[in-house]
Amino acid sequence: MTHTLPEFDDWLENALVEEADMAGESVDTYIARAVAARMVIGRARRGEVDIQELLAHVRAAHLDLPGPISGDAVLSDPDRLRALYDSGFLNAERAHSLDRVVAMVVAALGVPSAAVSLVDRDTQYMCSAIGLKGEVARTRQGPSEGSLGREIVASGKPLILEDVRKDPHLIDHFAVRNGYIVAYAGFPLKDGHGHTIGTLAAWNTRPRRWSSGHIQLMEDFVMMIRARIFGIAPE
């Protein structure tokens, strides 16, 4: 058999042909669409500003992607999920090693609540936290949909707000709607390849201003956590 992709063995080649056939496409088109999707996911994850230009070229090539390119695509990125699972910090016992850092965040910023959260496709896990409220305080997890952590994972950028209720895009998020979060400062936790597996966040139930000193402290704590999870030396 002549392989479409040199790295594929006969089994993978047959599976590729079957998937393309079920999608009603040629193998070449199926591969091109998959590559285009991967490119868009990569740029979305890095927060690059030219993603709309890339999408325009993808559409012009008649390689429209299945469904909107949104946070869903980033959350489902297999490389991101592999980085999350390989970290080992979904294991509760291992995650306890982060408790001291979370306690330091609460003390240094003078906030009642802080957490390290890990986010997979559908669920946000509070692997180390202080000051949780509601059902999540008991279960230490909840749906990623409607969580502020999901916003950070999708964008790969910090989310820092004095009063989340003033942002029309976030006012309906569960924790905001229920009054658990008003002021919020959340930062992405990235591995060495730029995959955001979760967040470090601090929050309050009333508005507050986050100073440049607060932000610097959070960035320092992020470096500490990255060192603990990924073995990445602080810069």
pLDDT digit string (tens) for the chain, length 235 residues: 566 677 888 898 888 888 888 878 888 888 888 887 777 666 655 556 566 677 778 778 877 654 444 457 788 888 899 999 989 898 888 899 999 999 999 999 999 999 999 999 889 999 999 999 888 888 888 888 888 999 999 999 999 999 999 988 888 888 898 899 999 999 999 999 999 999 999 999 999 999 999 999 999 999 999 999 999 877 6
* Cβ atoms within 10 Å of 91's Cβ, excluding its own: 10
C-alpha distances in Å from residue 24, one per residue of 10, 19, 20, 21, 52: 21, 9, 6, 5, 27
pTM of the model as a whole: 0.71
What does the buried/exposed string (b/e) look like for 196-228 if buried means 16 or more CB atoms within 10 Å of the residue's CB? bbbbbbbbbeeebebeeebeebbeebbebbbeb
pLDDT at 119: 94
pLDDT at 46: 56
